[in-house]
Amino acid sequence: MLIPRCDETVAWGALAGHYEAHGRDLDLRTLFAEHPDRVSSLTLQAPEVTVDMSRAHWDVATRRHLLDLARECRLAERRDAMLQGALVNRTEDRAALHTALRAPRGKGAHSELVHDVLDRMLAFADAVRARAGGDQPGDIHDVVNIGIGGSDLGPQMVIPALDAFTHTKLRFHFVSNVDGSDLCEVLRKVKPQHTLFVVASKTFTTQETMTNARLARQWFLDQGGQHIERHFVATTTNVALADQFGIQTTFGFWDWVGGRFSLWSAIGLPVAVALGSEHFRALLAGAHAMDEHFFQAPPEQNVPLWLGLLDVWYRNFKGYTSRCVAPYAHNLRRLPAYLQQLVMESNGKGVDQDGRVLPYATAEVLWGEPGTNGQHAFFQMLHQGSDVIPLEFILVKKLPRREDGHVSQTMAEMLETQHRMLLANGLAQAQALMWGKTMEQALQERPPTASKELPPEVMARHRTFAGNRPSLTMVLEALTPRSLGALIALYEHRVLVSGAVWGINSFDQWGVELGKAMCNDLLPRLESGDASGLDAATAAMIARLR
């Protein structure tokens, strides 16, 4: 389909004109004063997630121009093409059908194929859970996932996020770094006869994963482990290589499943073992509900659409180069790392679908930490630094807790108080970012400590806050498998919206390849010392490292 690139549309020029005339100097405090209904009109409901976008740096005109841009870029057609299995990943000649992985049986593309693997995987997961914590050989106490990138970040994020729903007699470990210290640290904690290793690699050739898998197998044999086929399973499409390794139990997936979108596939096996089949299906159902919202909700109410368009407005017109995600829930502590790959590997591109060099910026830098930890680290910069960095708060109204007998009634009440304190911190930070503190307010305060050398005016200047810093707030009623599935899918679709507007391929990742190829050349040189043909810096470093 012939679709104009965003900078070739009428709406793009209109947005540029709007930015120069009004958008450059938008002030949230003025917008709230002039539009009493701003909160109600900019708070949208998606499945399991409420999103308040009222503190974003945009107004009615901004949103009108952005919606025009989406129409001119024929965003709905691009979205529907993905759903229908078109080869939207043109550079790899593949579809991108991760939505089919969470569709109910009979509804998505390749339904029987998907559900055949899903059923086998969940049956295996439930069988492991049935013998968890026992003393007989083969009873599992620990699950070690060996993977990297999309084969690691998803399960590593979801399992602690849903701690209240995980099996109480199983421990989960994640090994990704080719630095052997990563794996050795885990191996010191486990016993071969009670450990299940999951080797997660689509091709079963991923350098870091297979290096760690071979090391794990050697440790297993050295420690007297027996029956590799019972203690090693693989999530891969390369059954032949897995068999050569000694693995007989494999769960496959397909080339239309991108790594960073693969959590819903067999890559989610550790999650299935942790949660059990019922809760894993709830995770899929939450994601599917968000899919339905994205594909069916009208533009005015479509939450992933608006978030993706907001990212375009911020990146290309407001000039914001990064975005901070602060989940006010300790269980979501790995969510920022998961989103880093999703956003920056998907949309960190410099050419459009036709190979033309882009004259505008694409993916922002995404980073973050859980609140309140971040408040005592980088929030100083968010409030008073020279860069304006949009911040996303994720609040959970109720955190499910495991009923395991370790929490007394008094402790439960204390935990409820702490949770209210956590929520109050998130609300206060959003409020402070918007309102700031004037010089007059700072002068009227009596600071806890005051310099004897600096006059009050100088001290007050250090205690002023410009305010008008943008944020948005997402609220989950509770952190459950269904709500987490919906939240992850919301972020997936948001990324696809901005990528489609920018006219890039959000599904390939050629930027990962160059360093891998160079590594394969440098590895034997570190052994031999041969530096012929290398640049001076690399040659000198090889000599030093030898």
Active site residues: 345, 376, 516
| CB-based contact 322:470 (threshold 8 Å) | no
Run of H or E including 499: helix 481-502
Q: β-strands 49-52, 471-478: how paired? A: antiparallel
Distance of CA 481 to the CA centre of its chain: 16
Residue 519: closest CA among 542, 491, 544: 542
Q: How far is CA 205 from CA 61, 177, 214, 238, 507, in A?
A: 51, 15, 12, 9, 20
DSSP letters of 209-263?
Answer: HHHHHHHHHHHHHHTT---HHHHEEEE-S-HHHHHHHT--EEE---TTS-GGG-T
Using a 10 angstrom Cβ sphere, with 0-12 exposed, 13-18 middle and 19 or more buried, the burial of residue 459 is middle
| CB-based contact 294:305 (threshold 8 Å) | yes
| CB-based contact 364:322 (threshold 8 Å) | yes
For the chain, what is the total number of helices (H) and then of strands (E)?
22, 11
HEC string for 182-195: HHHHHHCCCCHHHE
Q: How far is CA 36 from CA 39, 59, 303, 433, 436, in A?
A: 8, 13, 22, 19, 20
Q: Residues near 142 by Cβ (< 8 Å), separated by ≥ 6?
A: 170, 171, 172, 173, 189, 190, 191, 194, 195, 196
Q: Is the dihedral of CA 17, 19, 24, 27 positive or negative?
A: positive
In the numeric block, which tokens belong to residue 123? 């049956």
Q: Is the dihedral of CA 503, 508, 509, 513 positive or negative?
A: negative
